[in-house]
């Protein structure tokens, strides 16, 4: 076994996944021009996320975040903007939970749930590193389309 060759293949795979993740950001940016679409990579905490902003004064953003390294442990939902923490969190959580479906809350998330292929809202694998399908869906544009639908749906629910 040639260890050096194996390591090169691993490195190339990581580079391809990073390029494809950036492609997903670009697809969303093109189709959601009025919204900021950005990738955050917190190397100290192993979080990698893609966020789409709602209007400027809105205290939340739609996010997909990998809770583990190597594009694994995906969750999605409404992430709090650090500088804003509204007092009516309970009411907003309740509305989303009833109209969108059950989710959880945390210090940083108003509403989120773990990704799953069985999810009716956003069917996607929670662990992308070993699964080729999310990367294929990025290349075809179908994942960006599904994310946009969820982003807009949650925005409509929040608008009342």
Question: Given a cut of 90, is residue 10 above it in pLDDT?
Answer: no
Over residues 109-141, the pLDDT tens digits come to 999 999 999 999 999 999 998 899 999 999 999
Average pLDDT over residues 133-160: 94
Collapsing DSSP to helix, strand or coil, 108 comes out as: coil
As for how many domains the chain has, the answer is: 1
Average pLDDT over residues 36-50: 82
- Read off the pTM: 0.89
Which residues does residue 53 pair with via DSSP β-bridges, in sequence order?
A: 61
Residue 62's pLDDT is 97
Calculate mean pLDDT across residues 93-103.
Answer: 93
Q: Residue 142 — pLDDT band, cuts 50, 70, 90?
A: very high
Q: How far apart are CA 50 and CA 35, in angstroms?
A: 13
Q: What angle do CA 128, 135, 131 make, to 5 degrees?
A: 35
Parent domain of 42:
3-159
CA pair distance 61, 58, nearest whole angstrom: 8
């Amino acid at each position: 076994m040639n260890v050096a060759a194996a390591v090169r293949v691993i490195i190339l795979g990581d580079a391809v996944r990073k390029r494809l993740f950036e492609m997903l950001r670009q697809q969303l940016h093109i189709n959601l021009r009025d919204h900021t679409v950005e990738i955050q990579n917190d190397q100290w905490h192993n979080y990698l996320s893609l966020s789409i902003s709602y209007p400027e004064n809105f205290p939340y953003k739609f996010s997909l975040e990998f809770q583990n390294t190597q594009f694994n442990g995906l969750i999605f939902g409404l992430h709090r903007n650090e500088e804003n923490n509204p007092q009516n969190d309970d009411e907003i959580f309740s509305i989303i939970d009833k109209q969108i479906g059950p989710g959880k809350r945390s210090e940083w998330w108003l509403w989120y749930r773990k990704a799953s292929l069985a999810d009716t809202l956003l069917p996607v694998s929670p662990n992308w590193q070993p699964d080729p399908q999310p990367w294929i869906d990025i290349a075809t544009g179908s994942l960006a389309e599904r994310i946009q639908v969820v982003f807009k749906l949650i925005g409509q629910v929040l608008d009342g």
